[in-house]
Amino acid sequence: MRAKHDASEGVTHRPRIDRRSAKIDQERSHSSPTRIPRAEILLEKGRAYETSRKASREAKALKEIEECTFSPQILTTSRRGSNVHDSLYQQALKLSQERARRQKASLD
């Protein structure tokens, strides 16, 4: 098993380049001390680019979250809920008693 996968392995497409581009590529590959194939160099640049884009997106998302100032304060029912229900019940009871009193007064 190989430690590193050859990127050009299994590639059937060989693009044609003009003489000038071929000469530039040859000069660059001969000046490189490691003599890494052009395909490997381009693949590595692509990986670095994608990593950079991902980091940039994550940083942008974090910045948006940090800039968010909305922070709702939610009241729980245990703190306020039972008092509200009791007061509404008492209010409805008073209205009902008053309505009954008015009906009785109008009948008399």
Q: Is residue 5 part of a domain?
A: no
Is 89 a member of any domain?
A: no
Residue 83 included in any domain: no
- In a domain? residue 42: yes
Is residue 12 included in any domain, yes or no? no
First to last CA, the chain: 105
d(Cα 21, Cα 76) in Å, to the nearest integer? Answer: 71
The predicted-structure confidence for 59-100, as pLDDT tens digits, reads as follows 999 999 888 888 787 776 555 556 788 888 999 999 999 999
Please state whether the predicted TM-score (pTM) of the whole model is above 0.85. Answer: no
Counted domains in the chain: 1
User: Which residues form the domain of 49?
Assistant: 19-67
Task: Tell me if 57 is assigned to some domain.
Answer: yes
pLDDT exceeds 50 at position 2:
no
- pLDDT tens column, 11-63: 777 778 899 988 887 787 766 677 777 788 889 999 999 999 999 999 999 99
Distance CA 65, CA 7 (A): 39
| Calpha distance 104→26 (Å, rounded) | 108
